[in-house]
Amino acid sequence: MAESLTKRVSGLVSCREGNIAVMSALALPACLGIVALAVDYGQLTLERRQLQTVADLAAIAVASDMAHSDDAVLAHLDNNGLKMVLRTPQGWKTVKGALLPEASVAASTGRVTVEKGRYAPDPARSPNERFKPSAQLADAVRVHVQQSGTLFFAGMFTTPPMLSATGTAAVSKTAAFSIGSRLASLEGGVLNAILGKMLGAKLTFSAVDYRSLAAADIDLFRLAKGLATDLNLTAATYDDVLKAEITMPQLLSAVARYGGVAAGASGIVSELRRIVPPGGETFTLGGFVDLDQKSRLRVDAKSGISMKVGLLDLLQSSASLANGSNLVSVQTQAALPGLGTVDLNLAVGEPSVSAPPYRIGEPGQAVRTAQVRLSATVRIDGLAELLGTKITLPLYVEVAHAEAKLADIQCHGGKADNATVAIDAAPGVAEVSIGAVDPSALKNFGSKPRVTRARLVDTPALAIDGMSSTTVGGTQIKRVSFTPSNIASGLTKSVSSTGLTTSATQSLIGNLDLAVEVKLLLGLSLSPPKVLQTALAKTLGAVTPAVDTLLDSVLAAAGVRVGEADIQVTGVDCANPVLVQ
């Protein structure tokens, strides 16, 4: 009997039949638990995405009607059948307008909070720092949505989690702004020499003519549309026109046809078109203009923003690009009191690709002038104490780029014609020296030219060498604001870090390090006699205004000024709100 029982037990132990069923029975609860968790997790993920959609669309709805934010968000909830409540100072408001105290709001009811503020799309800031809560002049909104999640299986063991999502929307704002040099003082002969050399033509315009060009503005979109026609560009975008290789005669023809400038400036353009040689080097308008997203538009589409460029600035920038890296070397007779002939060597750096001088951009973007180097040798009527001995004044000026950054755009009421713009500008630092430089070194902007002591007076009896250097300007940033009327009129505002060039010239003269050699005394070098030093300073001081005008005219022909920057805002676009980070 015992032996029979042992055999039976041994048989059961060795039997493998039904093992799958046993294992399945053991694993089934775990599998069901995993499936239940997967279903709950999927449901929570779906609800989280739905909440994000609600937050994003509610933010856009509110940003579209900032003045009636509560009505906008409640209308959005009601239209989408969402039974949520909105936080207000008086309590929780339902989509039907009823106010509920905190205790009356069910735990499962979705809750919406709206926060107005200012948004700055500055890449230098982290996303969390770009939105600043502010009830005043708000142009952005942050919507926070919170609602209890749904658990189908895990709800037997725990309470549903609270889900939340945040959406931020801001009015899309751009402005057309520029930096350059609206000429304050003009010397026609110098401008004729510089621009004529760049254009390959002999110019004979007067200072009045140049003032007419400086006062005229060109609608860049209208000009680009006309250029597309002249260049036979089919179905062209503004970007196609900006990238097209053109010559100065082609640009002048387009300005004459489509510029829409006054008769005086139009006549000068026609004269330029007649005397500028055909062909020549090509350039692109995109070398100094950036239209941002507007460049994608077809030329027959409305841009929605005004983008204007000064006619003289346009001609100067185009001529500089067409001239390339060539050194502009001219000798001219300055029609200024006390000055004789002037030898000029001018080198203009390439415009910045990331910050061209003319652009449409968002807050945080910038425009810059080009870097410029100038050496000038000026002959001056001489010292009375030395029987009218003439003076040679060698000047070297290096101007770093000036920069203007679009700091803020406020679209009051969401309308572009009520917008105000703030610009943070810093004029370029300039190094001004009396001394000699090698003209061939001016073109290499990768290295700094060496300034050496130069001979100012050279006679059989006497030689005077001198050297001086000063820095004009600084890195300080000044904010300039443009009102709607400023923008509509195209008002130009100047930012100055120091005085005008006059202070630099006077400083150079005051700091002159002189060495006098009396040749009749067998080459013996002496310290500067006080009478000669005083006479030299008196003579140079008398022509300081003329030297100021000369430098201002030459540098303005290159698009810069010493210690100053001219800023202009010509248009604003307050587009539909968009989601932002």
Contact 204, 192 (CB under 8 A): yes
Confidence of residue 102 (pLDDT cuts 50, 70, 90): confident
Give the residue with greater pLDDT, 113 vs 103.
Answer: 113
Q: In terms of domains, do 288 and 155 share one?
A: no
The residue among 394, 283, 280, 374 whose CA lies nearest residue 327 is 374
Do 322 and 183 fall into the same domain? yes
Of 173, 163, 134, 167, which Cα lies nearest the Cα of 62? Answer: 167
Percent of the chain with pLDDT over 70: 85
Residue 287 and residue 132: Cα distance in Å, rounded? Answer: 36
Shared-domain flag, residues 29 and 131: yes
Considering the domain architecture, whether residues 121 and 203 belong to the same structural domain is answered as no
What does the pLDDT look like over 515-571, one tens digit per residue?
A: 877 766 545 445 455 677 777 777 777 777 788 777 877 887 777 777 788 899 999
- The pair of structure tokens assigned to 65 is 């009607």
Model pLDDT, residue 520: 62
- 10 located within any domain: no
Look at residue 7 and tell me if it is in a domain.
no
DSSP letter string over 126-158? -HHHHEEE-STT--EEEEEEEEE---SSGGGTS
pLDDT above 60 (res 113): yes
* Residue 93 sits in the same domain as residue 179: no
| Tokens linked to 482 | 């443009």
How high is the mean pLDDT of the chain? 82
Task: Decide which of 170, 197, 230 is a domain's last residue.
Answer: 170
Residue 142 binned pLDDT confidence (cut-offs 50, 70, 90):
very high
User: Domain check: are 309 and 445 in the same one?
Assistant: yes
Helix pair angle (19-64, 69-79), 10° resolution: 140
Domain boundary among 170, 198, 219: 170
Within this chain, do residues 165 and 180 fall inside the same structural domain, yes or no? no
The string over 74-113, giving b where at least 16 C-beta atoms fall within 10 Å of a residue's C-beta and e elsewhere, is: bebbeeeebebbbbeeeebbbbeeeeeeeeebeeebbbbb
For residues 473 and 481, the answer to whether their CB atoms sit within 8 Å is no
Contacts of 480 (CB under 8 A, 6+ apart): 404, 422, 423, 424, 425, 493, 495, 567
pLDDT at residue 447 greater than cutoff 70: yes
In whole angstroms, give the CA distance from residue 108 to residue 83: 10
555 is written with which tokens?
A: 């540098």
pLDDT digits (tens, 9 = 90+) for 256-311: 999 888 888 899 999 999 999 988 889 999 988 999 989 999 998 888 899 999 88
Give 386-400 as a 3 state SS string.
HCCEEEEEEEEEEEC
Residue 100 has pLDDT above 60, yes or no: yes
Domain end point (choices 120, 147, 170): 170
Residues 6+ apart with CB under 8 A from 469: 431, 432, 433, 434, 435, 451, 508, 511
Query: Both 106 and 187 in a single domain?
Result: no
Kindly state the average pLDDT of the residues 359-363. Answer: 90
Q: Which residue has the tokens 């030219």?
A: 449
Q: Provide mean pLDDT across the span 234-243.
A: 91
Do residues 296 and 331 share a domain?
Answer: yes
How many angstroms separate the CA atoms of 426 and 429, rounded? 9
Residue 485 phi, psi (nearest 5): -70, -35
**How far is Cα 146 from Cα 85, in angstroms, rounded to an integer?**
10
The DSSP string of 14-40 is H--TTHHHHHHHHHHHHHHHHHHHHHH
**Would 104 be classed as within a structural domain?**
yes
pLDDT over threshold 80, residue 448: yes
Count how many domains the chain has: 2
Do 316 and 282 share a structural domain? yes
Residue 5 resides in a domain: no
**Residues 133 and 193 reside in one and the same domain:** no
CA-CA distance, 518 to 368, in Å (whole number)?
Answer: 49
Can you give the residue range of the structural domain that contains 407?
Answer: 174-575
The answer to whether residues 422 and 534 belong to one domain is: yes
Q: Inter-axis angle of helices 311-323 and 248-258, to 10 degrees?
A: 160
